[in-house]
Amino acid sequence: MYKYDTYDQAMVDTRVEEFRDQVKRRLEGHLSEDHFKPLRLQNGLYLQLHAYMLRVAVPYGTLSSAQMRVLGDIADTYDRGYGHFTTRQNIQYNWIQLDQTPDLLAELAKVEMHAIQTSGNCIRNISSDQYAGAAADELVDPRPYAELLRQWSSFHPEFLVLPRKFKIAVIASETDRAAMKLHDIGIRIVKNAAGEIGAAFYVGGGMGRTPMIAPLIREFVPLDQLITYSEACLRVYNRYGRRDNKYKARIKILVHELGKDEYTRQVEEEFAHLLTQGIEPPLAELERIKAHFPDPAYEAGASDELDRSDPDFALWVDRNCAAHKQPGYMIATISLKPVGGIPGDASADQMRLMADLGLKYSFDELRVTHAQNIVLPHVRKADLYTVWQALEANGLGTPNLDAIDDIIACPGLDYCSLANARSIPVAQKLSARLAPRRAEIGELKLKISGCINACGHHHAGHIGILGVDRKGTENYQLLLGGCEGDDTSLGTITGPGFSEDGIVDAIETATQVYLVNKQGEERFIDTYRRVGMAPFKEAIYG
């Protein structure tokens, strides 16, 4: 994985000192809260309902075990012994003291981590495929391109006061595991007819109150123009994105209002101009970064055999492990969704255990997924049983990847000052109710947001839940038919909303409609697409 050189380290260290100075000015009263707010947000610090929340960046979701260990230690020292992994592959701490934040950031900097631009109206942490470098279906490892973009977008002087937040995802596989088309910019690394590697740009996707799927605006940007093209996309947005209404300020609205063709025309015009400005790093820089992402030293001739005699282990392998490009290895997903638990939470001890497993059994690498789980990307099949036993003994062995109880949920009204309704208790009730039937129900992506901002990706859930405030009480709308990935689609609201218990009943009913109508190997989403909303609506409201 990428290692900082002295330049990268100096940038992060300087940022810590800058923030220390900003906090000091704030505490001494020289900086008003209005002026401090955008500064602390660009260091990942939110003021929530009960305390400050700090969001730490995990660039493209990749962590070393030393980094994971420090995340665990920080949970003990600065929080209440746990952390919450997020849908942007980051981690959040919910009980942070403002005056301790500079020291916390300094500890992160020691292991090449930071909280830079994890919030605020700027380019956020760049997300990627959690199976990058390991997936059997990838063209190349997408992370070097994400790292190139990370450096370009960090402290970019023109793009730190954008109309609104800006999220970029980079993938390089046929299967989209990063919800790429639901980003402000989604980049797919592709090969053109001439056999050259380049980037396809999808611009103007997003969730929030006006969900949109990003249209393709350019099929092929050569690798030596990647930064220049990105800069053109951003400049058109910074100049013309709406600033009159924060709910219409994302780039998706600009692309929608101008039309894809006119937005593209403006980007191409800006791109032609910027090509004359010499802002593109040389390909040698991309090559330098690529050299940080070699294949691990796989054991030659590692056995492809797997002893499946323990049925619980076999179940976990079938559910949570994916094919690796290297024979004798598998990609293992650690579920942070125990039955009845809080989605995405891990205790300090669990983080340290995962760090140890990553070090011992996965070439010192771990990944955070946008579905709030952790991945050990390179596990020898011969070690898989040992790994599973350790996970199982520490509450981390739930065999439910992409199952109905692998729920994505935002922090909701338990923590978040923007939320209208609680997400966590609903997730816990659904998990407890439906986990016993996960084998029968199969793949079903259930996603819960506690407000219209859609941090819980409810639009992209096969089943989505949106918490709203209805005359002072929490109310939950039900959506069906959303999907991320290659066949991205947005969910449709079934009808009137439900109480907390009502939504759990309604979802159980929806799963029954699926099972009754299911043909062959159809997943929930396939059945829904075939039979449509009517039978679901009838059963739920009838």
Partner 1 sequence: MGDVQFRFREDEPVADPGVTVDVFGSQTNATAVRLEPGDDARDLLPYLDRLKLIEVNFPVFTDGRGFSSARVLREAGYTGELRAVGELPVDHLALLRRCGFDAFAPDPPVNPVDAENAFARFAEVYQPTTDGRAPIWAKRHG
The contact set with partner 1 (CB under 8 A) reads 5, 7-8, 10-11, 14, 17-18, 21-22, 25, 30, 35, 38-39, 121, 151-152, 154-163, 235, 238-239, 243, 273, 277-279, 281-282, 284-285, 288
Please identify, using beta-carbon distances, which residue of 14 and 303 lies nearer to partner 1: 14
> Do 416 and 454 touch, CB atoms closer than 8 A?
no
Q: Determine the 3-state secondary structure of 536 from DSSP.
A: helix
Nearest distance in Å: CB 367, partner 1: 25
Please identify, using beta-carbon distances, which residue of 11 and 382 lies nearer to partner 1: 11
Helices (H) and strands (E) in the chain, counts: 17, 20
Nearest distance in Å: CB 241, partner 1: 9
Determine which helix (DSSP H) or strand (DSSP E) holds 252, and give its type and residue range: helix 251-258
Nearest distance in Å: CB 26, partner 1: 11
Please identify, using beta-carbon distances, which residue of 157 and 520 lies nearer to partner 1: 157
Nearest distance in Å: CB 282, partner 1: 6
Nearest distance in Å: CB 4, partner 1: 11
Q: Is the dihedral of CA 509, 453, 234, 368 positive or negative?
A: negative
- Calculate helix-pair angle for 381-392, 348-361, nearest 10 degrees: 170
Please identify, using beta-carbon distances, which residue of 5 and 261 lies nearer to partner 1: 5
Please identify, using beta-carbon distances, which residue of 11 and 339 lies nearer to partner 1: 11
Nearest distance in Å: CB 292, partner 1: 13
Nearest CA to 455 out of 409, 403, 401 is that of 409
Nearest distance in Å: CB 268, partner 1: 15
- The residues, any chain, with a CB within 8 Å of residue 522's CB and separated by 6 or more, are 530
Please identify, using beta-carbon distances, which residue of 122 and 413 lies nearer to partner 1: 122
Nearest distance in Å: CB 453, partner 1: 19
Measured CA to CA in angstroms, residue 428 lies from 144, 368, 473, 501, 527 at distances of 37, 21, 19, 12, 26
> Do 412 and 467 touch, CB atoms closer than 8 A?
yes
**Which residue in the block uniquely carries the two structure tokens 């006006």?**
210
Please identify, using beta-carbon distances, which residue of 122 and 317 lies nearer to partner 1: 122
Please identify, using beta-carbon distances, which residue of 17 and 486 lies nearer to partner 1: 17
Q: For the stretch 157-170, what's the b/e string if a residue is b when 16 or more beta carbons lie within 10 angstroms of its beta carbon?
A: eebbebbbbbbbbb
Please identify, using beta-carbon distances, which residue of 282 and 311 lies nearer to partner 1: 282
Please identify, using beta-carbon distances, which residue of 285 and 469 lies nearer to partner 1: 285
Instruction: Output the six-digit token pair for 481.
Output: 């038919």
Nearest CA to 119 out of 170, 63, 54 is that of 54
Nearest distance in Å: CB 157, partner 1: 4
Nearest distance in Å: CB 58, partner 1: 19
Instruction: Output the six-digit token pair for 489.
Output: 């689609």
Distance CA(431)–CA(427), nearest Å, equals 6
DSSP state of 460: G
Strands 185-191 and 91-96, by their bridges, are: unpaired
Distance CA(459)–CA(447), nearest Å, equals 8
Angle at 137 between CA 522 and CA 338, to 5 degrees: 60
Please identify, using beta-carbon distances, which residue of 291 and 493 lies nearer to partner 1: 291
Nearest distance in Å: CB 70, partner 1: 24
* β-sheet bridge partners, residue 380: 329
CA within 13 Å, CB half, 14: 8
Angle at 116 between CA 112 and CA 120, to 5 degrees: 165
